[in-house]
Amino acid sequence: IPADTISINRDRAGRPFLNKYHGWKGDFNLSHSEEWIICGLTSNGRIGVDIEKIQPIDFSITELCFTQEELDY
C-alpha cells in the first residue's frame, strides 16, 4: 500500500481510524505519555491501548484534606 494513499482520520469522539479505501477491516489505536508510545493493531474487531509513565505522587496535600486517623489508615 503506497504510504501517500493512507490517511488517518478521527471519528466524532476523536478516536483515530484509517481510511477503508484499501479494504482493511482491522483497527488500531495509539497512546503516548512523555517519551513512551504504544500502538496496537488487530486484523478484526476493535482495539484500545493506554500507556502512562509512572511518576512519584506528592501526597503532602493529604494533610490538608484528611484527619490524622484517616492518614494513619
For the chain, give every domain's residue range. Answer: 3-72
pLDDT tens, 5-14? 888 889 999 8
Averaged pLDDT, 2-24: 82
Q: Which of 2-6, 18-22, 62-66 has the highest mean pLDDT?
A: 62-66
The grid coordinates of residue 57 equal: 505522587
Q: What is the DSSP string of the chain?
A: --GGG--EEE-TT--EEE-STT----EEEEEEETTEEEEEEESSS--------------TTHHHHS-HHHHH-
Q: Integer distance in angstroms from the first to the last C-alpha of the chain?
A: 58
pLDDT at 41: 92
pLDDT at 40: 95
pLDDT tens, 27-67? 999 999 999 999 999 988 899 999 999 999 898 999 999 99
